[in-house]
Structure 1
């Protein structure tokens, strides 16, 4: 299991634990799952979040 997949699972579990029920809880869990996946992917080297967050810059 890659770190990004582990981050996805951890984020989803934390989201379900933090937000009990309803559509809002589902969306909250989904957002945390995606965040966990992206952070794990950054750790694995699959993504470069620094480049995304920096934007296009000056050149």
Structure 2
């Protein structure tokens, strides 16, 4: 799936959450989406916690 389509899906999910659930649901979906992204990136790149923290300290993630 391309990044454009993924961005569209995420945007639509956040829009639906905001429309039907209010601002609290919007924030919950955004937070869980961020947690899922970080977990997926962590697992995709080998799962070494030291590398994840080191890349965060250098400004990249």
TM range (shorter): 0.3 to 0.5
TM-score, normalised relative to structure 2: 0.45
Of structures 1 and 2, the one scoring higher in RCO (CA 8 A, sep 6+) is: 1
TM-score, normalised relative to structure 1: 0.46
